[in-house]
Amino acid sequence: MKIVADDRHSAHWGKELANGVFGPSWEQPIRADYVDAELSDRGFGPPIAPATVPDELLGNVHSERYVRFIDRAWERWCEAGREESGAALAYCWPTAPGSDTLSGRYAAPDALDIDNDPIDLLLGLFSFAADCSITAHTAGAARAAASAAFTAANILSATPDHPVFARCRPPGHHAMRESFGGYCYFSNAAIAAQRLRDLGAERVAVLDVDYHHGNGTQQIFYDRADVTFASIHADPRTDFPFYLGYADEIGQGPGLGANMNLPLPSGTVFSTWSAALDRALSTVAGADAIVISLGVDTFENDPISTFRLTSDNFLAMGAQLATAGLPTMFVMEGGYATEAIGVNMVNVLDGFMNG
């Protein structure tokens, strides 16, 4: 298995508002360090440095104005005299009955000026949760993660018999077309899927195994038939991102039937989770390639989840994913039991290769 990784993530560590407290994010640089160390210890690698993701691809999966906002947000925050805060965070969001149900907010008006409109207006329009802020190094880290996914897709397209792992940080599956949240800024898995389509794959599947629903990936592809999305996750009535991830969300327009959500209750153990994975795998069967949004926050000791998977279960998960028999790439998402993330993440890869 080839590994794609970029160390530019290390300078990015955002802040979040959680449980009424504003402090350092659970999504911290050491997560990737533990994964990198475990990959090395088990003989995966050495990692490949990614090529730079093209702005055209970023602007296709997201939008040109959103990409420009991510690039300029910290500079705009500093122009407003707030650099000492260390993190740019929205405090007001435009939401009302009848707003866009896919994003949970009104669509940003067409006549936005990223360079001159008030930064608080822009932050509210381009974010959806207070768990996610922008720092001096966020844009660079987000672009590095997107570049890792882009490069992994290039490798998989050229050598479909050889799986690839994009060690992305920050994660991406919560980032919608024009909004960030859930520690995510650019949708790395969606960027990989779109790149595979651009390189000739007729149908790509994205399978999200993170504890939290991949609301961003779903929103980006919800009305498309060429990318099938399946997600196994916590019940959105009880867990972030709350407003998407229900079983009756099956796509719309040309994408009707190309979206599958499998929400599971608190306390889910691997036997139940594995049965859901069988259902998801049947949905993605026949795709030309599959992108796995690999979060390991389903772990029994994860501080912000309630599932009960063990480290050994991640080996079995990897072996089960291999039964799809498809050209496969993995994109790193969540997992916040920091000292266990390396073992759990690499167990999935090990199980996939050797199970």
275 or 107, higher pLDDT: 275
Secondary structure (3-state) at 59: helix
- Structural tokens at position 339: 């000292």
Percentage of the chain lying above the pLDDT 90 cut = 92
pLDDT higher than 90, residue 138: yes
Closest by CA position to 114, among listed 191, 31, 178 = 178
Closest by CA position to 231, among listed 195, 184, 169, 283 = 283
pLDDT reported for residue 247: 97
pLDDT higher than 60, residue 242: yes
pLDDT higher than 80, residue 111: no
Closest by CA position to 168, among listed 204, 133, 192 = 192
Catalytic residue among 12, 62, 174, 212: 174
Q: What is the tens place of the pLDDT at every residue in 332-350? A: 999 999 999 999 999 999 9
The whole-number average pLDDT for the span 99-106 is 48
pLDDT reported for residue 96: 55
pLDDT higher than 80, residue 186: yes
Contact residues for 145 (Cβ-Cβ < 8 A; gap 6+): 6, 9, 166, 168, 169, 170, 171, 172, 186, 188
> Is 174 annotated in the active site?
yes
pLDDT band at 104 (very low <50, low <70, confident <90, very high): very low
pLDDT higher than 70, residue 35: yes
d(CA 349, CA 355): 9
pLDDT reported for residue 177: 96
Count of beta carbons in the 10 Å neighbourhood of residue 23:
10
Distance linking the first and last C-alpha atoms of the chain: 14
pLDDT higher than 50, residue 257: yes
Q: What is the tens place of the pLDDT at every residue in 112-122? A: 899 999 999 99
d(CA 247, CA 264): 10
The whole-number average pLDDT for the span 190-206 is 98
pLDDT higher than 70, residue 108: no
pLDDT reported for residue 100: 52
Instruction: Go through the domains of the chain in sequence order and give each one's CATH number.
Output: 2-53+145-354 (3.40.800.20)
d(CA 4, CA 149): 8
pLDDT reported for residue 355: 79
The whole-number average pLDDT for the span 39-54 is 96
Average pLDDT of the residues of the chain = 94
Closest by CA position to 333, among listed 321, 320, 344, 319 = 344
pLDDT reported for residue 92: 87
| Residues 104, 242 contacting (CB under 8 angstroms) | no
d(CA 267, CA 265): 6
| Residues 207, 290 contacting (CB under 8 angstroms) | yes
The whole-number average pLDDT for the span 148-165 is 98
pLDDT reported for residue 94: 78
| Residues 211, 241 contacting (CB under 8 angstroms) | no
